């Protein structure tokens, strides 16, 4: 009886120790810049009980105050965390700090990184073509005789070309595969000055199907 009580008391009296595999261990933060945004990714190990969270702050090189970032997304299966900063200007230096919050350990170190958004030194080097919902794909692709569809217009584009879209709704999808520009001769697809085109990639769903998906993008 005494032996049983002594053993029981010893077990109950053991200090609580966080299992090492439950404490998140962040890797190096990777920043992926575009002309107007920066993608953020950081891989991690452990956190086997999936209770860690992360948040980030960011600032421009010219700023002294940190800004709060958007919510970060956890992919628990791939052990990957990501988010983005948008919109930004071209050639801006961005600093990012990611803080981790894990109930299994209070002092998980933050990770930092600095990157510069891409600079778009664009001087048109190819043709300028136009597309409009009121156009004609048999036209010349000029402002006066624009193409009608993105699908057709995109097939005419070569490295260095620019496609300007006029106002209206373009009900198209599965576009722009196989386009190949270069750093010195990019392919640019943008709204024509003063125009507000909308690319509507809605899917047509049969009446007997209850769910659908809709996606529309406004160019700027």
Average pLDDT over residues 4-13: 35
CA 119 to chain CA mean position, Å = 18
Residue 203 sits at the vertex; the CA angle it makes with 196 and 193, to the nearest 5 degrees, is: 10
Report the pLDDT value the prediction gives residue 131, as an integer from 0 to 100: 97
Amino acid 218: pLDDT: 53
Considering only residues 83 and 16, tell me which one the structure prediction assigns the higher pLDDT.
83
pLDDT at 203: 59
Q: Say how many C-beta atoms besides its own lie within 10 A of residue 157's C-beta.
A: 22
* Angstrom distances, CA of residue 201 to CA of 131, 136, 174, 179, 182: 17, 20, 8, 19, 27
The pLDDT value recorded for residue 36 is 83
Q: What is the pLDDT of residue 118?
A: 80
Flag whether pLDDT at 61 surpasses 70. yes
pLDDT band, residue 180 (cuts 50/70/90): confident
What does DSSP say about strands 188-191 and 162-165: parallel, antiparallel, or unpaired?
parallel
* Range 175-198 average pLDDT: 86
> Are β-strands 168-171 and 197-200 bridged in parallel, bridged antiparallel, or unpaired?
parallel
Residue 9 — pLDDT band, cuts 50, 70, 90? very low
Residue 12 C-alpha from the chain's centroid: 49
- Residue 188: its pLDDT value, please? 87
Mean local confidence (pLDDT), 131-136:
96
pLDDT at 20: 65
Q: What is the mean pLDDT of residues 76-80?
A: 95
- Give how far Cα 41 sits from Cα of 78, 120, 154, Å: 12, 23, 32
Annotated domain spans of the chain: 20-116, 122-220
Mean local confidence (pLDDT), 176-183: 83
Element (H, E) at 59: strand 53-60
Report the CATH superfamily, name and number, of domain 20-116: Immunoglobulins (2.60.40.10)
pLDDT of residue 219: 54
Q: What is the pLDDT of residue 24?
A: 96
Whether 114 contacts 96, CB under 8 Å: yes
In the predicted model, is pLDDT for residue 204 greater than 70? no
pLDDT of residue 7: 33
Tell me what pLDDT residue 212 has.
46
- Start-to-end Cα distance in the chain: 81
**So what's the pLDDT on residue 169?**
93
pLDDT at residue 108, rounded to an integer: 92
Each residue's pLDDT tens digit, 16-58? 445 568 999 999 999 998 878 899 999 999 999 999 999 999 9
Residue 183 has pLDDT above 60, yes or no: yes
CA dihedral 72, 189, 115, 67 (to 10 degrees): -50
Report the predicted TM-score, pTM, of the whole model to 2 decimal places. Answer: 0.54
């Amino acid at each position: 009886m005494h032996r049983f009580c002594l053993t029981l008391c010893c077990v109950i009296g053991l200090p609580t120790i966080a299992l090492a595999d439950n404490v998140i261990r962040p890797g190096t933060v990777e920043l992926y810049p575009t002309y107007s945004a920066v993608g953020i990714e950081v891989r991690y190990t452990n956190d086997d009980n999936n209770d860690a969270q992360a948040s980030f702050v960011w600032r421009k090189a010219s700023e002294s105050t940190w800004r709060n970032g958007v919510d970060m997304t956890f992919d628990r299966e791939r052990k990957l965390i990501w988010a983005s900063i948008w919109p930004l200007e071209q050639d801006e230096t961005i600093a990012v700090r990611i803080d981790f919050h894990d109930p299994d350990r209070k002092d998980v170190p933050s990770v930092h990184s600095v990157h510069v958004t891409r600079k778009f030194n664009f001087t048109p080097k190819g043709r300028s073509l136009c597309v409009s919902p009121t156009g004609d794909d048999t036209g010349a692709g000029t402002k006066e005789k624009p193409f009608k569809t993105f699908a057709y217009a995109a097939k005419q584009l070569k490295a260095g070309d620019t496609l300007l879209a006029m106002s209206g709704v373009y009900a198209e999808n599965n576009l722009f595969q196989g386009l190949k520009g270069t750093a010195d001769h990019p392919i640019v697809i943008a709204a024509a000055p003063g125009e507000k085109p909308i690319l509507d990639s809605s899917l047509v769903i049969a009446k007997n199907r209850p769910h659908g998906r809709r996606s529309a993008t406004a160019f700027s």
